[in-house]
Amino acid sequence: MIEFTPRKIQSSFWTILSPIISITMTILIGSLIFKILSYPVIESLYQVFVSPFSRPDRIADIFVKACPLIIIGLGLIFCFKANIWNIGAEGQFILGALCAGSFALLFPETKTYTLLFSMFLIGFVGGAIWASIPAILKVRLNVNEILVSLMLVYVAMLFIDFVVRGPLRDPMSFGFPLSKVYPDGAIISKVDFPFIGFLGQFHYGIFITLILCPLIWFFINKTLPGFQIKIFGSSARASEFAGFNKNKITIYVLLVSGGLSGVAGVIEVSANMGRLQPEVSFGYGFTAIIVAFLGRLNPYGVVIAGIIIATAKLGADNAQMVLGIPKVVTGIFEGMLLFFLLAGETIQKYKISIRKDN
């Protein structure tokens, strides 16, 4: 019989080691899956994990892909640290993009970047409002936030679909469900590197992650609200005895997380699409959950995790083109990775020994 004894001290070494082991295990089992599906194993692994690094513009595109994942993941740190399960980041992302986009389209001739800054604000508010629905229901009626936030993803997807096919549809779009193109002041431009020029789709929005990451690290580790969130998450009872207001924390973490997802939506659309369309997110909100876990709920960890997952996503695109492997395989990898990471958490928390039954 397997026996679990809680550890008194959790090793920090394991915190770093466990994601590495998890990734290795995922790759091993992933190879097995490729083998079963009779795809060439080495070539498949090369396409998924190495080919995105093969050219400078491809490397740049990794960061482009990682940007929304990292920003949403940074927001999810707040929720998951507080043990609040916001799994509706996808919907908050869409709402942020939609609110900011609708606002931008009201000022078609604007060239100044004041517009872009107001869009960030509006996107944040849009995402936060969407997240406030599960927050308020949770606090007022103790409704499960997992189900509400998830249901709102479907609602948000249908809502943006309605908007771009209805009120915001560009009359010149030849029947395609697309909005008008954003004004210049609402577009995040690509970075023109000195001597090199443009690299892939690398845009200025990516630098926002560089600002957000240390800010959030500081907030969570060095401030009182950050401390309250951590205590609330690890022991709700202890936090109650300490006099922390649990309702305030619940609402706060959901609003921040929803808001950051909204900002991610603004950046994604303003930098890569330049107009609204029915599909603005490609599952970023769900993938970011894996990113947050892989990053061990640490802001710097989330940045690294975002880059790793983005690499695999781009790699899967390449694998589909070169080898015809359907790119849904990344979902299989993501699921397995999450399983292994969670199992790693158990090993970190408990000492496992095997005992003979008497």
Partner 1 sequence: MENLLITILLTSIPILLAGLGELVTEKSGVLNLGVEGMMLCGAVAALGSVLIFGNPYIGILFGAVAGILISTVFSFFTITLMTNQVATGLGLTIFATALTGLIGEPFVGKTAASLPKLEIIFLSDIPYLGKILFSNDILVYFAIFLIFFIHFGFQNTKLGIIIRAVGDNHDSAHSIGYSVKLVRWISTSFGGMCAGMGGAYIPLALTPHWSEGMTAGKGWIALALVVFASWMPIRLLIGALIFGGITILQFVAQARGWDVPSQFLNMLPYLATILALALISFKLKHNNYAPACLGKHFLGNK
150 binds partner 1 (CB under 8 A): yes
Residues 188-227 contacting partner 1, CB under 8 A: none
142 binds partner 1 (CB under 8 A): yes
Question: Of 98-106, 156-164, 195-203, 211-219, which segment contacts partner 1 by CB under 8 A?
Answer: 156-164
The backbone torsions φ and ψ at residue 202, rounded to the nearest 5 degrees and listed phi first, read -55, 120
State which of residues 109, 166, 237, 243 lies at the interface with partner 1 (CB under 8 A): 166
Please write down the HEC assignment for all residues of the chain: CEEEEECCCCCHHHHHHHHHHHHHHHHHHHHHHHHHCCCCHHHHHHHHHHHHHCCHHHHHHHHHHHHHHHHHHHHHHHHHHCCCCCCCHHHHHHHHHHHHHHHHHCCCCCCCCHHHHHHHHHHHHHHHHHHHHHHHHHHHHCCCHHHHHHHHHHHHHHHHHHHHHCCCECCCCCCCCCECCCCHHHCCCEEEECCCEEEEEEECCHHHHHHHHHHHHHHHHHCHHHHHHHHHHHCHHHHHHCCCCHHHHHHHHHHHHHHHHHHHHHHHHHHHHCCCCCCCCCCHHHHHHHHHHHCCCCHHHHHHHHHHHHHHHHHHHHHHHHHCCCCCHHHHHHHHHHHHHHHHHHHHHEEEEECCCC
5 binds partner 1 (CB under 8 A): yes
Question: Of 47-55, 149-157, 234-242, 265-273, which segment contacts partner 1 by CB under 8 A?
Answer: 149-157
236 binds partner 1 (CB under 8 A): no
State which of residues 24, 50, 112, 154 lies at the interface with partner 1 (CB under 8 A): 154
159 binds partner 1 (CB under 8 A): yes
How many residues bind to partner 1 according to rule CB under 8 A? 49
C-beta of 31 vs 110, nearer to partner 1: 31
The contacts of residue 355 (CB under 8 Å, 6+ apart) are: 1, 2, 3
Question: Of 49-57, 100-108, 150-158, 240-248, which segment contacts partner 1 by CB under 8 A?
Answer: 150-158
Kindly state the smallest distance separating residue 109's Cβ from partner 1, in Å.
Answer: 30
Question: Of 96-104, 109-117, 160-168, 169-177, which segment contacts partner 1 by CB under 8 A?
Answer: 160-168
Question: Of 43-51, 193-201, 300-308, 334-342, which segment contacts partner 1 by CB under 8 A?
Answer: 334-342
State which of residues 11, 54, 235, 346 lies at the interface with partner 1 (CB under 8 A): 346
The bridge status of strand 350-354 relative to strand 2-6 is: antiparallel
State which of residues 43, 121, 161, 201 lies at the interface with partner 1 (CB under 8 A): 161
State which of residues 16, 20, 28, 158 lies at the interface with partner 1 (CB under 8 A): 158
14 binds partner 1 (CB under 8 A): no
282 binds partner 1 (CB under 8 A): no
Asked whether the CA dihedral 20, 26, 27, 28 is positive or negative, the reply is positive
C-beta of 138 vs 190, nearer to partner 1: 138
Residues 50-89 contacting partner 1, CB under 8 A: 85, 87
Q: Say if residues 136 and 70 touch (Cβ distance below 8 Å).
A: no
36 binds partner 1 (CB under 8 A): no
289 binds partner 1 (CB under 8 A): yes
Residues that bind partner 1 (CB under 8 A): 1-6, 37, 85, 87, 133, 137, 141-144, 146-148, 150-152, 154-155, 158-159, 161-162, 165-166, 286, 289-290, 293, 326, 328-332, 334-336, 338-339, 342-343, 345-346, 350
